[in-house]
Amino acid sequence: MNERQLQILRELGELGSVTATAEALLMTPSAVSQQLRLLQRSVPVPLTERDGRRLVLTDAGEALARAAIEVETALAKARHTVEEFVDRPDADVSLAAFHSAAAAFFPLLVRGGTGPRRPRLALADEDVAQEHFPRLTRDYDLVLGHRLDHAPPWPDSVAASTLLREPLDVALPADHPLAAKRRLTPRDVADQPWITVHDGFPLMATIDAIGAAANRQLDIVHRINEFTVVAEVVAAGGGLALMPRWTTRPHPALAFRPLSGVHTRRHIDVLHRPERPARRAVRTVLRELHRAARTIRDRDAHARSGDTG
């Protein structure tokens, strides 16, 4: 039993013939008859009977036809509710991001997203290994994830678009001897102590590439995921680190130098289930994320242009 079959039964009760019902519903008479047979199989009592040349409803058929009106009314109300939900400009939108992206994007979204007809943001920080970002789309409308430039693409189960292709620079104390160079090579930095992220996080592949290019294993002394903490440890002389150029705040005691000889760039992507942008509020936040990305790139690239050469 389905909505279409109930609609056919209702029209048959009002019009009194299969032909007239078919014309009203833009169907063929054979299709109407087939649907009536399928409906009859799901009901233990006869729904129709012959009255001369006319096909009329039995008492059970009339009862079910009356119920069909209630079903159609309830479904119409449900569709209207869904349409209102999908089209609401001020609906809730949940957004998760890893720490450095959250620090860069969240303030811009909050400042630009106030008003009575604006999406209501629910923000969360989620610092996970790269392969876990797609799983977060079950719990959040939008997820900011990151991967290295040449890493495999995200799985087909999620949709993704790139917000930033962000360079990674070597962070070192401003008074470090290597800070005198405008660019560094893997051999320049291979004999230094290093601060890196934990295993499984995207930047580790670049750390491994630096060691491979220098033909030696890097001396990893600290593992810290939070870049604000990394910056303080580097400034204190705890080692060198790879840090994103645009989504980490400049530090007065640090110098940032580009690294030649290895791929040092990451993608910051926004991930979501394919159906989420059907909602107007989600589409609005997606547009605002791309606008915020342009602001971050232009503002921070200009701020650091003199420091990175």
Q: Parse the chain into domains and list their residue ranges.
A: 3-87, 92-308
Residue in the structure block whose two tokens are 């320049």: 188
Q: Quick check: 255 and 183 in contact, CB under 8 A?
A: no
How do the pLDDT tens digits run along the chain, 309 residues long? 788 888 888 888 888 888 888 988 889 989 988 988 988 888 888 888 888 778 888 888 888 888 888 888 877 777 777 777 778 888 899 999 999 999 999 999 998 766 678 899 999 999 888 889 999 999 999 999 999 888 888 999 999 999 999 999 999 999 999 999 999 999 999 999 999 988 877 788 888 899 999 999 999 999 998 899 999 999 999 999 999 999 988 899 999 999 998 888 999 999 999 999 988 999 999 999 999 999 998 876 555 554 444
Measuring CA to CA, which residue among 187, 240, 189 is closest to residue 213? 187
Report the DSSP beta bridge partners of residue 168: 244
Element (H, E) at 7: helix 3-15
Sign of the four-CA dihedral 128, 130, 132, 136: positive
Give the pairing of strands 193-196 and 240-244.
parallel
Measuring CA to CA, which residue among 275, 263, 261, 278 is closest to residue 213? 261
pLDDT at position 301, please?
53
Read off the tokens for 60. 């059970």
For 169-201, the DSSP string reads EEEEETTSGGGGSSSB-HHHHTTSEEEEPPTTS
Give the pairing of strands 265-272 and 142-148.
antiparallel
- Burial of residue 222, with CB atoms counted within 10 A of its CB: 0-12 exposed, 13-18 middle, 19 or more buried: middle
User: Between 3.40.50.10420, 1.10.1380.10, 3.10.20.30, 3.40.190.290, what CATH number should domain 92-308 receive?
Assistant: 3.40.190.290
Rounded CA-CA distance 241/231 in Å is 8
Count of Cβ atoms closer than 10 Å to residue 190 Cβ: 17
Q: Quick check: 272 and 137 in contact, CB under 8 A?
A: yes
User: In this structure, which amino acid lies at residue 249?
Assistant: R
Read off the tokens for 53. 């040349």
Read off the tokens for 34. 């087939």
Would you identify the CATH topology of the domain 3-87? Arc Repressor Mutant, subunit A (1.10.10)
